[in-house]
Every structure is written in structure tokens, then in C-alpha cells.
Amino acid sequence: MVREIAELRKKVARMESSAQEYKELESEIQASRSYAEKIVETVRESLVVLNSDLVILTVNRSFYDTFKVTPEATIGKFIYDLGNGQWDIPELRTLIKEVLANCAVFNGYEVEYDFPDIGPKTMLLNAREISSSNIGSRIILLAMEDITERKLAQERVNEVIRQHQAILNHIPYAAWLKDSNGKYVTANVPFNQIFGVAPDDLTGKNDYDIFPPELAAKYEKDSREVITTGKRVLSECSTVDRGGRVQYLEKTETPIFNDMGVAIGIIGIVQDITRRKEAEITLQHSSTHDFLTGLYNRAFFGEEMERLAHSRMFPLSIVMADINGLKSVNDKLGHEAGDLLIRLAARIIQGAFRAEDIVARLGGDEFAVLLPQADKDVAEGAVKRIMGCAEIIDGTVSIAFGIATAESGEQLAETLRLSDMRMYRDKFDYKADNRN
């Protein structure tokens, strides 16, 4: 009897222990549920808490507002039975059964579904397991972000972009669209031909993703000015194409405004003006250079004289030069031979002076050189180099020189006269020597 009583007491003790464990288990479950519910109520998106059997434990207010259901028709329902079976969505079944079964979390799973009661919805689903090792159970948090309006808005934007793309594709020049942050939205085929970037590879990139840093900085500055001021910006630049050829481009960027008059984007056009620019450069070169020798001409020499007269580039030396015996060559061998002699003299003279010196052909057989910040010794050194040339030494060409140096702008005209006089004196001595 004593033994039976002892066994009975042990049995009661075990039952009391089990009851205590059960209470603790219930407490753990309640704590986990309370924790989950607090999370649920702080989330902006629709959020559902499921148990391991996919029965809804709780949802937040956003869920009720979005899907037009009541707590009575939601809590305790099997997820797929919700709303008279409206939530029996094949994609959702696949997601929960296959994806969630293999990993504790998934993000960004997009589902489109036409609900009988509320119409078509596009949802972005995110789920996470919250497991407790103590109680051996799990709670599933299922977030459902309603992105229907966002998707519709994006479709409208895409339609606008397609329309703009169609317009851009009919523009014969490189054209593009940028947003207000300077990122490319789209471009046309000529853009690829000029810059080597395919339209499909352009979207979302900025100027630094495409162009060299210096050019990108300029383009970014121009775009920022368009958005900031709301005014069109016109600029010119040069670049090197894939074949190594220099291209001159004229770029126009114009702001795109919304209904409130705020600049929200940019439409840009680039024209290849290489031919026009090369023509301008050629015209500019011909207006300042002698066609026969490629040296500066008399007009440019006069302009530089005027400019330097008001500069601080003193002392400034002037070297005058004249080809000896050119008339005799023209008379005996013809003007073609005379032109060859002029070109030879021009090459020799130019090769003896510095890059910053102005070497000009004033006409006929006469040349002049301006040497800024050069005294008499520098000028004489250049002439000495010329006199040491093989063509001078062997008599192929003979050149008379005159040198003078100005210390200020007021002396420049007199310095020119003096150097010219000394050159003619040298030429006279040459003729005298040849007569003897």
C-alpha cells in the first residue's frame, strides 16, 4: 500500500511538472505572438502572421484597408481560404510551399492577381520565418506591398519613354533624354555612332559612366545649369572618335517642364559640325597665313605688332630677312623655281626660331620675325644658326638680315624701321660683293 501511495505521488508530481511546462509553453507562445503583433502594427505594408499550418494568427490595419476584409473573415482562416478562396493564388502556393520550405526568407517576389472583389492587384511579397528553439515552433511573417499604382505609373512612364524614343529615332542627329539628376533615360542610334554607347546600355548611367573625366565634368555642369536655370544651354566641344579622328560637336540641351513649370528633365541634341569647323579653321588659317610658305602673313604680323606694343613682352627683337638674288632666279629659271627657293628660305628661317616667335612672310622675297622677351643676343643667335645651315654655306640660297631690339612699345615702330634698314644694308653689301 505504501508503495502504491509513493507511485501515485510520483505520478501527481509528473502531472504537475507537465502542467507547469505547458503553462511555460503557452507563455512562450503568447510572448512570441505578442512580439510578432507589435512588429505587424508598425509596418506600413500589409502584413500577415501565419503559424506553421499557414493559419492566419493576425494581420495589420493596412491589410484590412487594402484587401477590404474584416477581422472575423480573416483571423483563424487558412491563407488559401481567405475571402472565399480569393487567396488561392497559384504563385502564392508555389512561393510558400517551395521557396519558403527551402529557406527562411525571401524578398521581392512579384505577384499579379485579379481579385474578384477588389480587382487586379500587383503585390510585392516578402516573407520571413521567426523560429523558437525553446518551443519548437515557427511563425511566418508575410509582407504584401501593394505596388499596383506604382506599376501603372511606371507603365505610363515607359509609354512616354517609348513615344520619346520614337521621336528621337527620327532625329538625324545624336539625341537623348536625361532626368533631373543627370541620368540618361534613353537615346537614339546616332548617339551610339558618335559616342560608341548603345542606347540599351545607356539607361540609368551618368556622364562619368560614359565619357572621359574632363568631358564628363563639362557635360554634367551643362546639364546642372539647364535644370537649375530652366534655360537652354548651347556649347561646342571636340572629341576623338573610335577611328582616332577629331570630331567637333555642337551640343544643345533644353529643359523639359512639368505642369508646375519645374524642370524635370532634359532633351539634348548633338550635331557633328566637323566639316563646318574644319572649313572655319581653314578659312581662319588662310586669313592669317601665307599660302605659299605656310608662315604667318603680313596682316597677322601687323596685328601681332599692335598687340605686343601694349604687352609686357619686352625686350622685343625684330629680325628682317630678304632672299638675295630671287629676281635673277625667276628671270633665268622661272617663277616655279623662284617659289621653291622662297619655300626653302621659309623652312630655314622658321627652323631657327622659337615656337613662340612670330615668323611671317611679308610678301615677295621679304620675311620678318617678332621675338617677344628676347634681347639682341637671342636674335643674333637665331641668325647665326641660319647662317650655319648647309643650304646657306653651299650657296643654294642666300639671305640678308637686319636686327633691332625695342625696350618698350613706344620704340617698336622705330625698331621695325631700323631692322629693315639694316637688312637692306646687308643686302647691298651682298650685291657689292657679288659684283666684285
The residue that leads in pLDDT, 28 or 421, is 421
> Cβ(100)–Cβ(140) under 8 Å?
yes
- Name the domain count of the chain: 3
Does 111 share its domain with 141? Answer: yes
Does 295 share its domain with 249? Answer: no
The DSSP annotation for 360-425 comes to EEEETTEEEEEETT--HHHHHHHHHHHHTSHHHHTTS--EEEEEEEESSGGGHHHHHHHHHHHHHH
CA dist., res. 282 & res. 299, Å (int): 16
Does 229 share its domain with 321? Answer: no
The Cα-based distances of 141 to 85, 131, 233 in angstroms read 20, 11, 53
Residue span of the structural domain in which 34 resides? 20-146
Residues 62-94 pLDDT 10s: 888 888 888 888 898 888 887 667 777 887 777
Q: What is the pLDDT of residue 135?
A: 45
**Quick one: average pLDDT of 246-257?**
87
Does residue 2 sit within a domain? no
The Cα-based distances of 11 to 48, 69, 215, 337 in angstroms read 42, 49, 88, 133
pLDDT of residue 11 exceeding 70: no
Does 293 share its domain with 431? Answer: yes
Does residue 118 sit within a domain? yes
Does 165 share its domain with 272? Answer: yes
Residues 359-386 pLDDT 10s: 999 999 999 999 999 999 999 999 999 9
Residues 205-249 pLDDT 10s: 999 988 888 888 988 999 999 999 999 999 887 777 667 778 888
In the numeric block, which cell numbers belong to residue 230?
530652366
Average pLDDT of the chain to the nearest whole number:
83
What percentage of the chain has pLDDT greater than the value 70? 82
Domain termination residue (choose one: 146, 178, 204): 146
Q: Which strands make up the sheet holding 233-240, listed edge to edge?
A: 184-187, 174-179, 263-272, 246-257, 233-240
**Is residue 21 very low, low, confident or very high in pLDDT (cuts 50, 70, 90)?**
low
Does residue 194 sit within a domain? yes
Does 85 share its domain with 36? Answer: yes
CATH code for the domain of 24: 3.30.450.20
CA dist., res. 339 & res. 293, Å (int): 9
Place of cell 505610363: 156
Q: What is the pLDDT of residue 341?
A: 95
Does 210 share its domain with 326? Answer: no
Does 172 share its domain with 237? Answer: yes
**Is residue 43 very low, low, confident or very high in pLDDT (cuts 50, 70, 90)?**
low
CATH code for the domain of 380: 3.30.70.270
Does 138 share its domain with 61? Answer: yes
Q: What is the pLDDT of residue 13?
A: 56
